[in-house]
Amino acid sequence: MAQREALTAEFDDIVAGTAEGNADDEHDPEGSTLAFERARVSALLSRERAYLAELERAEDRVAAGTYGICTQCGVALPPERLAALPAASTCVRCRPPRVRSSDPM
């Protein structure tokens, strides 16, 4: 949550800084840098929000007594997996494939 708050503050600072300056990113010498920073922080903030949502779902599984059990096949998740990914809801075999930006389309 602290990370989310820090990113939100950083994003707000970027937006405030661009509001006072030239609104034309294309012709402003620093516009592309500001646009990149805004997009970078926005992406990081989205990722943090998604992770917090995953943690909330994990808390729901704790309350329901199903934490540590694969939601797909019902097998117990190894303690090492939960230590590495506390919000994990599936075993390694059932996890969705990871999409990498370097993967060809």
Per residue in 28-56, pLDDT (tens digit) is 555 567 778 888 888 888 888 898 899 99
Taking the C-alpha atoms of residue 35 and residue 38, their distance in angstroms, rounded to an integer, is 5
Asked whether residue 73 carries a pLDDT value surpassing 60, the answer given is yes
Which strand (E) or helix (H) includes residue 12?
Answer: helix 2-20
Taking the C-alpha atoms of residue 72 and residue 83, their distance in angstroms, rounded to an integer, is 20
Calculate what percentage of the chain has a pLDDT beyond 70.
77
Which class for 38: exposed (0-12), middle (13-18), buried (19 or more C-beta within 10 A)? Answer: middle
Q: What pLDDT sits at residue 28?
A: 53
Average pLDDT for residues 65-90, to the nearest whole number? 95
Task: Say which DSSP state 104 is in.
Answer: -
Taking the C-alpha atoms of residue 76 and residue 32, their distance in angstroms, rounded to an integer, is 48
